[in-house]
Structure 1
Amino acid sequence: MSQPEAISQSILPNWVDSALFKGMLRGIERESLRMQSNGFLSQQNHPEALGSALTHPHITTDYSEALMEFITPPQASIPEALNYLKDIHAVAHRHLENGEKLWPLSMPCMLDEEEENIRLADYGTSNIGRFKTLYRHGLGVRYGRRMQTISGVHYNVSFPEELFEALQQHETDEQLKALSLQDYRSHRYFGLIRNFIRLTPLVMFLLGASPSVCRCFMTGRDHHLLPLVGGTLHLPYATALRMGRFGYQNSAQKELGIHYNNLPDYLEGLQQAVHTPYSAFTRLGLNDKNGEPIQINDHVLQIENEYYSLVRPKQVPEAGETPSQALANRGVAYVELRAVDVNPYDPIGVDEDTAGFLEVLALYCLLKYSPELFDKELEIIEKNQTEVVNRGRAPNASIIENKKSIHIEKWAAQHLADMAPLAQMLNQSYATQLYSQALSTMQSRIDEVDNTLSAQVIQDTLSNNGTWGFGSVMAQKHAEAYEQHQLSPETKRYFDALAISSLEKQQQLEQESTQSFDDYLAAFR
């Protein structure tokens, strides 16, 4: 199938110079469960040799003690970001104990019947550490611990200030021209966010890699999944079950009415959710029968980070700031693209093609016209997402756009055709062919649905007799890749020093926590 003509006029303004994109930055956050050699979730503590999960900037834990999170700092190019992530994986692998490995799939390895055996992340005895653990306990009582064992990739992107200056100079709307650069930057990033939400079905179709799940994940839940092979459930044409109703879903949050039409309204909606009690959570109680706290509060959101969104506006908080305060004070600095499954075929869960595609998509979303997004359109987007999650590879799968039903492959190919000039521009910026190659790879998945990651996962799950068989084979391959990855002496020294200094920082925080945790929590509540 040849690429169709672009359906809209080029969204790349003719005055744009490739030098404007040279200052882009990207960072990656990748989650991965530690699994025992028998395939079950690890019950061991976070390896002390890696440092403190509370204070280490690159190697921490997410929900569970066994759910590792690897974080790169912002990097000047995709190869640099991926190489940094490879270094982190190699360091972490060297310190795993008792034959543990990193689980390569978004949906979890084997979980036993007892939810309590999914250990909450432990951050020590400081008040901030205990607070972080309590937040996770609250998530468990609200939504169950199994949901929190899902892994993903978060891709962070920022564009150079010079680009926003140039875009603002070429605006024809006098009100936009009159904004401060900080407010204009936030305005453009919110346009990006709205368009990314509209295009999440494209991300799920092209990057979705969770079409099946270990039966243990569904313990105690009603579902419509079908048996695939021993111990594995699936839907025949699914792409990303992680992003569907068995993944990160929160019925309370659907009632929030948080919109991404401008920064003040977004922050107001978020703050309202953080301060509004929710009856279902009130019934759970704040403390157990022994008086021990079980959730931070009974509000729709315990804290801001509980808001599950496909994409987030971000600003780096300074000391004492909440994420919202940082955004209010300094505007949006970058966006976090969160609708990305772990690629089980890559040792670090994300490859050049995924990174290149996401950056072209982010630029496309930034430059493309982005009208305000309200509930009526959001309902249609949600239907599109559900269609792609559950049956995106079906021969008759379709997307609703402008009140018309469009075959998903045609819809996806049209958007990729519109992105092609942007990929060429980024190629020029970085003297590479990476971006066009990424779109070419994505086009091959549109042309032949069996080339999608989700189709490959089904095939390999079948040939390895189930999720555990496939996951264990890939985990072993990835372990060999980590062992072969050469760490420079400087990198080794850097991570060794970080491990020590992070443990010292945690110890210092614990010594400085003179206020009782009850008083600390009461002050927050």
Structure 2
Amino acid sequence: MKQLDLNTKLDLLSGGVHRGAFKGIKRGIEREALRIQGSGKIAKTPHPEKTGHALTNGYITTDFSESLLEFITPVSENPEETLAQLSDLQKFTLANMGDELLWPLSMPCFIEDEEDIVLAQFGTSNIGKMKTLYREGLKNRYGSMMQAIAGVHFNISFPEQVWQSLQSISEDKQAQQTFISQQYLGLIRNFKREMWLISYLFGASPALCPSFLQGKKSDLPFKTLENGAIYLEYGTALRLGDLGYTNSAQSSLKVMYNDLDEYIAGLREAIRCRSDLYHEIPDYRAAEPKQLNRNILQIENEFYSPIRPKRNAKSGETPTQALERGGIEYIEIRALDVNPFEHTGISLEQIHFLDVFLTYCLLKPSAELTFDAQKLAGKNLRQVVNQGRCTELELEREGVPVTVKQWGSEIFADLGRVARMLDSNSGKSVYVEVIEKLSRAIEAPALTFSGQLLSQLQNRTLEQGSMGLELANNYKQLHQDVEYGYYDEAELAAFAQQSFEDEEAVRAGDTVDFTSFLDDYFSRA
């Protein structure tokens, strides 16, 4: 296979038979949001019944807790359509949850006690009970508080023409799906090296309510606002740092991204390896189980990574079984905070930036990523999470110190070239304009999401809970005022009703008891 640099690829893709190859990028969004009471405290009520059954409604469900909603859009090539779908799902849900609101920030609202975070309930089917027991395991392993953090997941897949063009210009003779999987893994490696930029630009969790710590001490250099909120002066995305979803046992797992078989083997080893940390917690064979099993990972989904290779699984398949069967189909980005400045939790501008950034990660040459290099990428990310807006901050690139400003400017220069290629497909300048606008944040950290949010907290002397509550009320009113943009109320109500019928069918399909069901599941995992 011929190795080509980024500029050569961009030149070849900008004209001739390959022009327009990137037309038709497909995207989907999953946005999480806590349900809260009008007072700002977490809601303890069950999942809103009129939105459907959490197990079988593919658009409106729950994540860790009953109060942590998840809105899932279908796949679309039109980003405006995707945002309209996301807005409609939230509008419909808000209309069916009484006086409750959607919390507009990633870090949770005031939570008096971890026991206020009620585990998500998925019904009495075997798969439903498995989902709840998995969450019981998360609670007993890491505590509920970190599971109350909300984020946005961005799914992307590139059109068939992209793979045909890239395989042609690189003179690659492999089977197309093998080539596709290799290219997606290259994207993942580049993303992991430079994902700190996502945290820098879009991190929106530099502050949190002190209740989040539940009286525990932190080594982070928190400062306190007059109103009581604690924050990191130069922080960007506490959600992605040591306060977020972490698992010390996972730090030693060698899940690598250089080869698909290697990735699958690494993840499977993790779900089969017994843990010294969790072996005393009763598993599914006990009379009162508190986790699925005693392994480092209960199931594959427990492995935290800010980016994942994915394939839509068939019924009964695990994620790695789906990848083994058909190769990588799309990529899931899990590194986005909820955008507090948008009622949907993510903006069109962010989608356009991610299109460019992920295309850049795909086209840029991607050397293999060693385990030490992965750890270095994680270290760079943590530094940006905690100190990203400090103008003196230095990261490490291939053993050499480099400032955020220098490295960021170099990335944006490449992103500008990628944006011009993508814009050449449409004759518009959407991508170039977004890159030019966001590049200013490299010179001016105050323009980042975290900079803007902290400025509001400081200048308006708002307590973070008051700000979140104000935004939550504003967004609820906005949803009430705007018309449905893609779905309509009757259609979403029909989806909800169908989900109850689908859940009944799942229950009716159970032929063994819960223990036998899990025996079979883990024998095949």
Q: Pick the TM interval, shorter chain.
A: over 0.9
Residue 9 of structure 1 deviates from its aligned partner by 6.2
**3-state SS of the aligned residue for 2:312?**
coil
Q: Which residue of 1 aligns with 2:21?
A: 20
1:165-215 superposed Cα distances (whole Å, 9 cap, x missing partner): 22112225xxxx232101100000000000000111111001110001110
- Aligned pair 1:512/2:509, yes or no? yes
**3-state SS of the aligned residue for 2:451?**
helix
Q: Distance in 2 between matches of 1:410 and 1:387?
A: 16
CA contact (8 A) 2:284 2:292 kept: no
Q: Which residue of 2 aligns with 1:333?
A: 329
Q: Percent identity?
A: 37
Residue 443 of structure 1 deviates from its aligned partner by 1.2
**3-state SS of the aligned residue for 1:209?**
coil
Q: Distance in 1 between matches of 2:66 and 2:137?
A: 15
Alignment of 1:385-464 (within 5 A): 385-462=381-458, 463-464=460-461
Q: Distance in 1 between matches of 2:486 and 2:423?
A: 32
Residue 334 of structure 1 deviates from its aligned partner by 0.6
Change (3 A) 1:411 1:489: closer
Residue 70 of structure 1 deviates from its aligned partner by 0.5
Larger CA deviation: 473-482 vs 209-218: 473-482
Q: Which residue of 2 aligns with 1:364?
A: 360
Alignment of 1:110-259 (within 5 A): 110-113=110-113, 115-172=114-171, 177-223=172-218, 224=220, 225-259=222-256
**3-state SS of the aligned residue for 2:10?**
coil
2:321 counterpart letter in structure 1:
Q
Q: Which residue of 2 aligns with 1:32?
A: 33
1:149 counterpart letter in structure 2:
A
Residue 326 of structure 1 deviates from its aligned partner by 0.9
CA contact (8 A) 1:11 1:367 kept: no
Q: Distance in 2 between matches of 1:229 and 1:285?
A: 45
Q: Distance in 2 between matches of 1:276 and 1:37?
A: 45
- Aligned pair 1:313/2:314, yes or no? no
CA contact (8 A) 1:32 1:69 kept: yes
- Aligned pair 1:470/2:442, yes or no? no
Task: Mark the runs of 5 or more structure 1 residues left unpaired by the alignment.
Answer: 1-7
**3-state SS of the aligned residue for 1:55?**
coil
Residue 246 of structure 1 deviates from its aligned partner by 0.4
**3-state SS of the aligned residue for 2:224?**
strand
Change (3 A) 1:395 1:297: same
CA contact (8 A) 1:353 1:439 kept: no
- Aligned pair 1:105/2:105, yes or no? yes
Alignment of 1:38-117 (within 5 A): 38-97=39-98, 99-113=99-113, 115-117=114-116
Cα RMSD after superposing both structures? 1.7
Q: Distance in 2 between matches of 1:23 and 1:9?
A: 21
1:370-426 superposed Cα distances (whole Å, 9 cap, x missing partner): 000012212321221111000111121122113222221221121011111211222
CA contact (8 A) 2:85 2:487 kept: no
CA contact (8 A) 1:12 1:421 kept: no
Residue 50 of structure 1 deviates from its aligned partner by 0.4
1:37 counterpart letter in structure 2:
G
- Aligned pair 1:381/2:382, yes or no? no
Q: Distance in 2 between matches of 1:156 and 1:363?
A: 13
2:36 counterpart letter in structure 1:
M
Q: Which residue of 2 aligns with 1:266?
A: 263
CA contact (8 A) 2:199 2:236 kept: yes
CA contact (8 A) 2:23 2:425 kept: yes
Residue 504 of structure 1 deviates from its aligned partner by 1.0
Residue 487 of structure 1 deviates from its aligned partner by 1.4
Q: Distance in 2 between matches of 1:196 and 1:11?
A: 20
Change (3 A) 1:277 1:42: same
Residue 490 of structure 1 deviates from its aligned partner by 5.5
2:504 counterpart letter in structure 1:
Q
**3-state SS of the aligned residue for 2:453?**
helix
1:229-276 superposed Cα distances (whole Å, 9 cap, x missing partner): 433111110001111000111111111111000100000001111111
Q: Which residue of 2 aligns with 1:480?
A: 477
**3-state SS of the aligned residue for 1:44?**
coil
2:296 counterpart letter in structure 1:
V
1:182 counterpart letter in structure 2:
Q
**3-state SS of the aligned residue for 1:336?**
strand
Q: Distance in 2 between matches of 1:269 and 1:445?
A: 38
Q: Which residue of 1 aligns with 2:490?
A: 493
**3-state SS of the aligned residue for 1:281?**
coil
| Residue from 288, 291, 311 that aligns with 1:292 | 288
Change (3 A) 1:320 1:489: closer
Change (3 A) 1:75 1:432: farther
Q: Distance in 2 between matches of 1:489 and 1:465?
A: 36
Q: Distance in 2 between matches of 1:459 and 1:487?
A: 33
1:412 counterpart letter in structure 2:
G
Larger CA deviation: 484-493 vs 134-143: 484-493
Change (3 A) 1:57 1:66: same
Q: Distance in 1 between matches of 2:487 and 2:439?
A: 40
Q: Distance in 2 between matches of 1:432 and 1:482?
A: 30
Q: TM-score, normalised on structure 2?
A: 0.94
1:477 counterpart letter in structure 2:
N
2:492 counterpart letter in structure 1:
F
CA contact (8 A) 2:88 2:485 kept: no
1:307-329 superposed Cα distances (whole Å, 9 cap, x missing partner): 10010001011122111111111
Q: Which residue of 2 aligns with 1:4?
A: none
Change (3 A) 1:186 1:9: closer
Q: Distance in 1 between matches of 2:46 and 2:284?
A: 26
**3-state SS of the aligned residue for 2:97?**
coil
Q: Distance in 2 between matches of 1:11 and 1:295?
A: 52
- Aligned pair 1:524/2:521, yes or no? yes
Q: Distance in 2 between matches of 1:18 and 1:88?
A: 36
Q: Which residue of 2 aligns with 1:281?
A: 278
Residue 449 of structure 1 deviates from its aligned partner by 1.2
CA contact (8 A) 2:85 2:485 kept: no
**3-state SS of the aligned residue for 2:69?**
strand
CA contact (8 A) 2:226 2:461 kept: no
Residue 71 of structure 1 deviates from its aligned partner by 0.6
Change (3 A) 1:336 1:287: closer
2:184 counterpart letter in structure 1:
Y
1:215 counterpart letter in structure 2:
P
Q: Distance in 2 between matches of 1:431 and 1:85?
A: 28
1:138 counterpart letter in structure 2:
G
Segments of 4+ moved more than 4 angstroms: none
Task: Mark the runs of 5 or more structure 2 residues left unpaired by the alignment.
Answer: none
Q: TM-score, normalised on structure 1?
A: 0.94
Change (3 A) 1:83 1:12: farther
